[in-house]
Amino acid sequence: MFKYQNILFPVILIFMAGCSGTKPVSKKDMPDWYLNPPKFEDRFVGVGEAKKQSLSLAKKVATNRAMAEISSQVESKVTQTVKDFMSESGIGEDAEALEYTETVTKTTSQNVLKGIVVDRTDVMNGTTYVMVTYDASAAAQEAKKATRDAAKRETALYNEFKARNAFDAMDREFENMDTSSSN
């Protein structure tokens, strides 16, 4: 009996390990629109997913991820750094070379997105999938407004600069008048 336990125990462990692994995600486990969202001429589309115990939290996280995807479509700032290091020591065939390369890419996006609409929400196998859309004309209007606001700020700053210069010149004139009349 002890002999069979030594064989049976490892077989059960191998079987349990094989069953406990996570199965790969297939297209059947998600909505059709998630991997290939529809394309619209007049709207940006973003998709997101989240798997949480709370359905409410999962929907919020998936929606935020979808909105972040739209924000990166509207405008993104991409920064990339590449570090390349090479070193060699020794002489001739005894020389040893060392090479190290590192690349880091960072993408940031910051936009005000007014009027995003949640078009689809599906829950499949405990994962919440959300598709949101954003009117492209609204994005263009926001961009125009931001440009106009920036121009107004620049104009206001320039006018303030001109006014300060005029007041400084007037103060100098008054100072000159005071000193010239006292002589």
pLDDT tens digits for the chain (183 residues)?
A: 445 555 555 555 455 555 555 566 667 889 999 999 999 888 999 999 999 999 999 999 999 999 999 888 888 888 889 899 889 898 888 889 889 899 988 888 887 788 889 999 999 999 999 999 998 877 667 767 767 777 777 777 777 777 788 778 777 877 777 665 555
Contact between residue 37 and residue 48 where contact means Cβ atoms under 8 Å apart: no
Q: Where are the beta strands (DSSP E) in 51-171?
A: 77-89, 96-108, 117-124, 127-135
Short-list 31, 57, 55, CA closest to 131: 31
pLDDT for res 137: 77
Q: Which tokens hold the place of 25?
A: 């995600």
What's the pLDDT at 143? 67
Tokens standing for 24?
């790969």
Record the pTM: 0.54
pLDDT for the residue numbered 139: 66
